[in-house]
Amino acid sequence: MSVLRVDQKIDITNEICPMTFVKTKLKLETLRSGQILEVTLRDGEPLLNVPKSVQEEGHKILDVRQNGDLFTILIERR
């Protein structure tokens, strides 16, 4: 896989649902179509809900990676 250019980053590790998705959605709205947002979040509800919710909004999940006890997801804004 080629290296993707990340346009913006957001860390929601200190947030709880539903604010994890709300903050992710608000950050995505600042991007143009095709730009990539990197989201750092925790396992559990955030990891289950954020990717599902952004896909329901029409965006594309490009990658999900575990980094210790945190996860990073790459989302392409559509």
Confidence of residue 3 (pLDDT cuts 50, 70, 90): confident
For residues 46 and 44, what is the distance between their CA atoms, to the nearest angstrom? 6
pLDDT digits (tens, 9 = 90+) for 47-56: 999 999 999 9
Is the preceding peptide bond at 51 cis, omega within 30 degrees of 0? Answer: no
Mean pLDDT of the chain: 94
Can you give the pTM of this predicted structure? 0.93
Residue 17 falls in the annotated catalytic set: yes
Residue 2 is predicted with a pLDDT of 58
Parse the chain into domains and list their residue ranges. Answer: 8-76
Would you tell me which CATH number, out of the four given (3.30.2350.10, 1.10.1060.10, 3.20.20.140, 3.30.110.40), belongs to the domain 8-76?
3.30.110.40
Catalytic residue among 17, 31, 61, 64: 17
